[in-house]
Amino acid sequence: MTARPGTRGPRLRPGDAVGVVAPCSPVAGELLDAGLDVLRGWGLEVVEGEHLRGHHPRLPYLAGTDADRAADLQRAWLDPRTAAVFCARGGDGAHRVLDHLDFAELRRAPAKTLVGFSDVTALHEAFAVELGAATLHAPVLALESFTEDTRATEHLHTTLFEPERATVLTAPGGEAAETLVPGTARGVTMGGNLSVLNDSLAAPHSRPSARGGLLLLEDVNEDVSRIDRMLTQLLRSGWLEGVAGVLLGSWQGCTPDAATVRTLMLERLAPLGVPVVGEFGFGHRPAQITVPLGAPATVDADARTLTLDRPALGPPVTRHRP
């Protein structure tokens, strides 16, 4: 199975409705409210999931039971009013909701866009495999950075409302990505959080390999030895066979230091013989850029750019208003 372009959701317009759900960890109410205010400031109508502000009765790292979190996501995706579904935060628990989703029913819904990153990687992968959906690796709402980091929200806004202006992606303004392995390659963007991808190997709703993919990888608060084990597992399992190129995001809080992580990436990834770009600006970091997933694109490691074949989102549509 080679990575294939996903079906795009519509670009947003003021007045559109969007769903907001918490499929992973609980959200802080004040941060969530601030993030929702940003969406409303964009002219969007917010449809909150029933359990958006919930907590699991016994497991404090989950925003409600698996069934409740899955039900919110399912309803938001099937809601004929909504043009996109935003995840309030990542954290933990996305893998646990997958077996509670009715993918046959989800396939009947018109195309729309899932927005999020970190643990949401599990949902990005499942929606790509089961629904053929293109999604957005992008900031989540209930983090301080969503309201305080205008560079991140401005880039997300551009991608959502004027995607034709965000077809050539580079590291955030004033920063420089790094060419680790030179060259150019075409493929389809995929991936996200390294540990979540590694945990998905051989599980339902996951890809057999990254063949044909321009693979995004990032993580947070991991020791380099654990990053090594995860990369080695992806290599030894054959999952990286046929990957077209690799884009590396942030490794915030990873120990002992960025130089050691860089050395590891070169040692593990350079033998693949494909272009590799480091510090590309997505992931757990300030001013993270939004990167479409399921997008046919070209990576130029020498120029340190990712050029999309098409805008991330398709033409706007008129949604049903009951």
Alpha carbons within 13 A on the beta-carbon side of 3: 28
Residue with tokens 């208003």: 321
Tokens standing for residue 198: 């590694």
Q: Name the residues annotated as catalytic.
A: 118, 218, 284
Q: Residue 174: which pLDDT band, with cuts at 50, 70 and 90?
A: confident
- pLDDT of the residue at 319: 62
Q: What are the C-alpha distances in Å from 289 to residues 210, 233, 235, 292, 318? A: 22, 28, 27, 10, 28
- Which of 2-6, 9-13, 192-196, 208-212 shows the lowest mean pLDDT across its residues? 2-6
Two tokens, residue 143: 């983090």
- pLDDT of 144-169, one tens digit each? 889 888 999 999 999 999 999 999 99
Q: Domains, the chain, ranges and CATH?
A: 17-165 (3.40.50.10740), 168-308 (3.50.30.60)
pLDDT of residue 322: 52
Mean of the per-residue pLDDT values of the chain: 96
pLDDT in tens, 135-144: 999 999 999 8
Q: Are 268 and 228 in contact (CB under 8 A)?
A: yes
Taking the C-alpha atoms of residue 164 and residue 180, their distance in angstroms, rounded to an integer, is 28
